[in-house]
């Protein structure tokens, strides 16, 4: 795409953004519970539109070169990403579940499941590439010091004569095999010649032989033509890949090369813009700074005199926290200041009288309302979207675009240089604020001198804020147990002890799974739809990747400190943890009970360990703290084999450390478990704020798993391989089972035989039979546990209420008919 194409994409994105902002206001109005479905539909529609907008802003920000536009786009991108996370939170509150059936909404909006994919902004890794590389080098250096100096393996020696005899034996065996194959071919040729002599040379006439050859040749041509037509038809309907993959790959490589070149141009323009910012700032301070200073002083002195003439005393100088002298000239005149002073006394008296009257009225009204609802048997359930933190930021960015960039007359190839006039306007405001701080200090001293000279009054003491009894002010801070140690030493200690690990590089898109196409149909049939692998991947992207990737998004989005992945073994829980680290460049800390055995012993040791892990995680954010077999920290009863490791020793310290995480601390606790039934429900749900259930893959996900995993081995599936049959017979098997079966079948030897003997589905069945599937009883046990969690209970209660309401309607209809 050219520069003009990205400019047009930016303009069309703002048209869509304006439409979405117009739809935001009606959502703030409360909706009764009986209109839940329409409320959910509106939320889902808005969520999908914001996802598309996020994808477009990410594309434009990644390829836009002009530095000032990029700064505005970055704010809009972060704001839209934060709004997506807010709407996801609202969908969970409305649907009372983590997965949402959006197939009907997709169909109505004429979108595909690909539009539901959560885009991960490319700048997450691009901006942290240097930091991640340096951290990787430090980690590799520490690990290399831990390894022994001589890592060469010692081999037992062999005498020269023995080695010669061994080589001779192998060579004689090779020659014998070749000789046997040669003799077998000679014998086959002799037998064929003998059969020909017995049958006779002139069995067919010349005409008959020609007809036979023609039949064979025409049959071959027709079969080849039919096969080619069938392949073209399958390619046309998208059931087979196009043969022009080489051309396709070359086009993609060229596009990637153009994108890389544009990113280099971004860096050049950014450096130019930063140099221009410093130059513009210095120029404004030198040329316009003295005039600004004098003008501000004159304004403030005039205000002093006018206020003294009107009120008889000099005013209090505004505090720096309230804006300083800027608040004086915020659309206020001296007459308004005097009126405000007179009105304050009258308003305070009126408020005290009104409060005492309103308290009595409110108590009476509440009692009446409760009595009326109790008589009617009504339940006051109202659905409403919470106020957004991101909308003001999005609106400000949109306004800036409309005022600054929309009406610019730019050509098809817009200039990518910075705009000097816009830069000077921005810097003028910064310079004015800097000078105002200096002026405030000077004028504050001048006000003291005026009071002493005119009113003979000393400086008025500042009033201390009133403290309400029983309420603690300020946040509870954690005591730093390692204040005398550097971050580097703590980092090295965690690496040596094995609590900080090097994460494998795994992309989130490699967690393969397909969309749940029949979600709404199952809901209408009164069946509870289970999340697909696609839903799990989306939730991990929303809850972990987007929040950890950007500090601005983390501050704006609803705070989520921890998630728990629950599912049978082999579902890819560890893979998702590694993918989160890869996509965000996060550190990986391992607090699994098995990994803590023998480390930091004693009660104080456990406290110190958790403190160091969370301290380093905050200082070197983003960070992921992983706990495998998370149920062991919350055992109802510790088994005998696990008593030695004492898995519950970090439970209290972990809970305390999590509570101290605030917006801006990009630290995420991710737990994985396949046996949550062994844990105490209350403690587990208190630590893990979001619980994601991972059931066995459905048919659509199994089909995609078989197809993609076979293609990943460099094999293109043919018509001989019935992937649909494989997806059906592998019901109950996890992605790990499918991968094991493919690896066992597709050995190097089998790969070499593919040209003569294509792959067939029956080859994989023998390997699947050797593996134990996830039985239905195990999955039902996990489902029962999930519906005992706080969100699961709400979901089941709502479902039961719906069924009861429908039964009551049916009973009424039957009575009417009778």
Residue pair 629/678 in contact (Cβ under 8 Å)? The answer is: no
pLDDT at 379 over 70: no
- For the chain, give the percent of residues with pLDDT over 90: 18
Which pTM was predicted?
A: 0.77
Angle at 635 between CA 632 and CA 636, to 5 degrees: 165
Compute the distance between CA of residue 107 and CA of residue 112 in angstroms, rounded to an integer.
Answer: 8
Neighbouring residues of 216: CB distance < 8 A, sequence distance ≥ 6: none
Per-residue model confidence (pLDDT) at position 348: 58
pLDDT, average across residues 515-537: 82
- Given a contact cutoff of 8 angstroms between Cβ atoms, the answer to whether 586 and 623 are in contact is yes
pLDDT in tens, 798-807: 778 777 777 7
Cα distances (angstroms) measured from residue 454 to each of 461, 516, 785: 18, 80, 78
How many angstroms separate the Cα of 583 from the Cα of each of 98, 275, 577, 622, 634?
A: 22, 32, 10, 11, 30
Query: What is the spatial distance between Cα 238 and Cα 235, in angstroms, rounded to a whole number?
Result: 5
| CB neighbours of residue 631 within 10 Å | 23
Tell me how far the alpha carbon of residue 275 is from its chain's centroid: 35
Q: SS3 of 671, please?
A: strand
Do 526 and 506 form a contact (C-beta atoms < 8 A)?
A: no
Segment 65-110, tens digit of pLDDT: 888 888 889 999 999 999 999 999 988 888 888 888 888 888 888 8
Q: What gap in Å lies between CA 271 and CA 262, rounded to an integer?
A: 14
Q: Do the beta carbons of residue 622 and residue 586 sit within 8 Å?
A: yes
Helix/strand/coil percentages in the chain, nearest 5: 65, 5, 30
**What pLDDT sits at residue 579?**
93
Residue 460 pLDDT exceeds 70: no
Residue 661 to residues 319, 549, 683, Cα–Cα distance (Å): 31, 16, 18
Residue 346 has pLDDT above 70, yes or no: no
Mean pLDDT of the chain: 81
Helix (H, G, I), strand (E, B) or coil at 676: helix
The model's pLDDT over 764-799, given as tens digits with 9 standing for 90+, comes to 888 888 888 888 888 889 888 998 888 888 888 877
Q: What is the pLDDT of residues 538-596, one digit of tens each?
A: 999 999 999 998 899 999 889 999 999 999 998 999 999 999 999 998 999 999 988 88
* Distant-in-sequence, close-in-space partners of 304: CB < 8 Å, separation ≥ 6: 314, 315, 447, 450
Half-sphere exposure of 247 (CA within 13 A, CB side): 4
Pairing label, strands 667-673, 562-566: parallel
Tell me if residue 475 falls in helix, strand or coil: coil
Between CA 238 and CA 233 the distance in angstroms is 9
Pairing of the two strands 667-673 and 623-628:
parallel
3-state secondary structure of 501: strand
C-alpha span between 400 and 789 (Å, rounded): 45
Please compute, for residue 708, the number of CA atoms within 13 A of its CA located in the half-sphere on the CB side: 13
Query: What are the φ and ψ backbone dihedral angles of 127, each rounded to 5 degrees?
Result: -80, -20
Asked whether the predicted pLDDT for residue 671 surpasses 90, the reply is yes
| Region 492-518 average pLDDT | 87
Q: What is the pLDDT of residue 150?
A: 37
State the pairing for strand pair 587-590/623-628. parallel
**329-343, 516-530, 783-797: range with lowest mean pLDDT:** 329-343
627 closest CA partner among 591, 676, 588, 577: 591
In whole angstroms, give the CA distance from residue 428 to residue 288.
9
Cα-based distances in Å from 752 to 720, 723, 755: 17, 21, 7
577, 670 contact by CB (below 8 A): yes
Beta strands in 511-622 (DSSP E): 562-566, 587-590
Q: Is the pLDDT of residue 331 over 50?
A: no
- Please report the DSSP string for 730-783 in residue order: TTT--HHHHHHHHHHHS-HHHHHTTTTS---THHHHHHHHTSPP--HHHHHHHH
pLDDT digits (tens, 9 = 90+) for 740-763: 999 888 888 888 888 888 888 888
- List, in sequence order, every beta strand (DSSP E) within 454-526: 500-501
The pLDDT of residue 219 is: 93
Confidence bin at 637 (pLDDT 50/70/90): confident
pLDDT category at 247 given cuts 50, 70, 90 is low
C-alpha to C-alpha distances, 87 to 206, 386, 389, 484, 633, nearest whole angstrom: 82, 10, 12, 44, 33
Residue 642 contacts by C-beta under 8 Å, 6 or more apart in sequence?
Answer: 593, 632, 635
d(CA 366, CA 374): 12
Question: What confidence tier does 295 reach under pLDDT thresholds 50, 70, 90?
Answer: confident
Residue 321 clears pLDDT 50, i.e. is over it: yes
DSSP output for 569-630: TTS-HHHHHHHHHHHHT-EEEE--GGGGTTSS-SHHHHHHHHHHHHHHHHHT-SEEEEEESG
**Local confidence band at 625 (pLDDT 50, 70, 90 cut-offs):** very high
CA-CA-CA-CA torsion sign (260, 85, 571, 517)? negative
As a whole number, mean pLDDT of residues 452-476 equals 51
- How far apart, in whole angstroms, are the C-alpha atoms of residue 185 and residue 188? 5
pLDDT per residue as tens digits for the range 405-419: 887 766 554 667 777
Residues 632, 675: Cα–Cα separation, whole Å: 9
Is 151 or 24 the better-scoring residue by pLDDT? 24
Per-residue pLDDT for 457 more than 60? no
What pLDDT digit, counting tens, does each position of 639-648 carry? 888 888 888 8
Cα separation, 621 vs 654, in Å, equals 18
> Is residue 717 very low, low, confident or very high in pLDDT (cuts 50, 70, 90)?
confident
Specify the DSSP class assigned to residue 481: T
Q: Which residues contact 605 (CB under 8 A, 6 or more apart)?
A: 599
Is residue 576 within 8 Å of residue 154, measured between CB atoms? no
Q: Look at residues 672, 368, 697, 259 and name the one whose alpha carbon lies nearest to residue 513.
A: 697
Report whether pLDDT(478) > 80: no
Strands 667-673 and 500-501: unpaired
CA 404 to chain centre: 32
Average pLDDT over residues 487-510: 88
Q: How far apart are CA 11 and CA 30, in angstroms?
A: 33
pLDDT band (50, 70, 90) for residue 468: very low
pLDDT category of residue 183 using cuts at 50, 70 and 90: very high
| 782 phi, psi to nearest 5 deg | -65, -40
The total of other beta-carbon atoms located within 10 Å of residue 455's CB is 12
Contact (CB, 8 A) for 676 and 792:
no
For a pLDDT cut of 70, what percent of the chain falls above it? 84
What is the average per-residue pLDDT within 230-243? 75
Which pLDDT tens digit goes with each residue over 15-57? 899 999 888 888 777 777 777 788 888 888 999 999 999 999 9
How many Å apart are CA 577 and CA 563, to the nearest integer? 11
Residues 367 and 65 sit within 8 Å (Cβ to Cβ):
no
């Amino acid at each position: 795409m050219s520069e003009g194409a990205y400019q047009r994409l930016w303009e069309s994105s703002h048209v869509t953004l304006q439409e979405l902002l117009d739809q935001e206001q009606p959502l703030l109005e409360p909706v009764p519970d009986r209109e839940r479905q329409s409320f959910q539909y509106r939320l889902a529609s808005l969520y999908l539109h914001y996802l598309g907008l996020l994808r477009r802003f990410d594309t434009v920000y990644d390829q836009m070169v002009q530095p000032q536009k990029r700064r505005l786009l970055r704010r809009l991108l972060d704001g839209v990403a934060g709004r997506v996370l807010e709407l996801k939170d609202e969908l969970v509150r409305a649907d009372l579940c983590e997965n949402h059936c959006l197939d009907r909404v997709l169909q109505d909006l004429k979108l595909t499941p690909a539009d539901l994919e959560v885009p991960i902004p490319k700048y997450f890794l691009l901006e942290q590439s240097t930091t991640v590389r340096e951290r990787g080098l430090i980690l590799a250096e520490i690990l290399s010091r831990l390894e022994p100096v001589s890592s060469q393996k010692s081999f037992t020696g062999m005498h020269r004569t023995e080695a010669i005899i061994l080589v001779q034996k192998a060579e004689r065996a090779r020659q014998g095999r070749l000789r046997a194959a040669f003799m077998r071919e000679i014998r086959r040729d002799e037998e064929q010649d003998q059969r020909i002599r017995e049958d006779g040379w002139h069995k067919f006439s010349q005409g008959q032989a020609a007809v036979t050859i023609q039949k064979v040749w025409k049959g071959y041509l027709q079969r080849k033509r039919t096969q080619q037509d069938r392949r073209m038809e399958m390619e046309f309907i998208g059931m087979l890949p196009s043969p022009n993959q080489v051309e396709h790959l070359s086009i993609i490589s060229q596009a990637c090369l153009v994108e890389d070149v544009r990113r280099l141009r971004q860096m050049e323009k950014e450096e130019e813009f930063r140099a221009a910012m410093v130059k513009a700032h210095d120029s404004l301070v030198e040329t316009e700074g003295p005039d600004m200073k004098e003008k501000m002083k004159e304004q403030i002195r005039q205000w002093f005199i006018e206020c003294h003439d009107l009120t008889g005393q000099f005013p209090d100088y505004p505090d720096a926290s309230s804006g300083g002298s800027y608040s004086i000239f915020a659309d206020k005149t001296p007459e308004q200041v005097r009126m405000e002073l007179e009105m304050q006394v009258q308003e305070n008296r009126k408020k005290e009288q009104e409060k005492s009257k309103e308290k009595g009225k409110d108590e009476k009204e509440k009692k009446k309302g409760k009595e009326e609802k109790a008589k009617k048997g009504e339940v006051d359930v109202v659905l409403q979207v919470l106020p957004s933190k991101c909308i003001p930021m999005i609106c400000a960015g949109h306004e800036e675009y409309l005022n600054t960039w929309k009406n610019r007359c730019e050509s098809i190839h817009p200039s990518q240089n910075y705009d000097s006039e816009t830069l000077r306007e921005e810097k003028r405001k910064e310079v004015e604020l800097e000078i105002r701080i200096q002026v405030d200090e000077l004028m504050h001293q001048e006000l003291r001198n005026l009071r002493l000279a005119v009113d003979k009054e000393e400086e008025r003491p500042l009033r201390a804020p009133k403290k309400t009894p029983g309420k603690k002010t300020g946040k509870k801070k954690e005591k730093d147990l390692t204040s005398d140690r550097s971050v580097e030493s703590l980092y090295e200690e965690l690496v040596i002890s094995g609590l900080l690990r090097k994460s494998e590089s795994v992309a989130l898109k490699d967690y393969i799974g397909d969309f749940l196409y029949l979600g709404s149909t199952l809901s209408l049939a009164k069946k509870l739809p289970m999340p697909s692998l696609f839903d799990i991947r989306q939730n991990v992207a929303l809850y972990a990747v987007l929040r950890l990737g950007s500090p601005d998004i983390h501050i704006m989005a609803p705070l989520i400190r921890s998630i728990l992945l629950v599912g049978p073994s082999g579902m890819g829980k560890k893979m998702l943890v590694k993918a989160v680290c890869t996509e965000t460049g996060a550190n990986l800390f391992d607090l699994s009970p098995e990994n803590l055995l023998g480390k930091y012993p004693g009660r104080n040791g456990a406290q110190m360990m958790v403190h160091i892990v969370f301290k380093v995680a905050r200082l070197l954010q983003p960070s992921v703290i992983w706990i495998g077999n998370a149920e062991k920290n919350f055992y109802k009863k510790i088994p005998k084999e696990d008593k030695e490791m004492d898995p519950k020793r970090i439970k209290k310290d972990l809970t305390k450390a999590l509570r101290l995480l605030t917006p801006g601390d990009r630290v995420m606790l991710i737990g994985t478990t396949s046996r949550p039934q062994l844990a105490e429900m209350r403690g587990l749900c208190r630590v893990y704020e979001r619980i994601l259930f991972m059931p066995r893959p459905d048919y659509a996900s199994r089909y995609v798993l078989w197809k993609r995993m076979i293609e990943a081995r460099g094999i293109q599936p043919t018509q001989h391989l019935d992937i649909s049959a494989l997806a059906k017979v592998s019901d109950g098997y996890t992605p790990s089972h499918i991968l094991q079966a493919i690896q066992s079948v597709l050995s190097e030897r089998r790969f070499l035989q593919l040209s003569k003997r294509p792959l067939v589905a029956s080859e994989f069945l023998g390997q699947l039979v050797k593996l134990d599937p996830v039985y239905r009883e195990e999955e039902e046990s996990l489902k029962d546990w999930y519906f005992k969690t706080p969100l699961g209970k709400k979901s089941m209660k709502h479902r039961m209420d719906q069924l009861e309401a429908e039964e009551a309607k049916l009973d009424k209809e039957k009575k009417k008919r009778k």
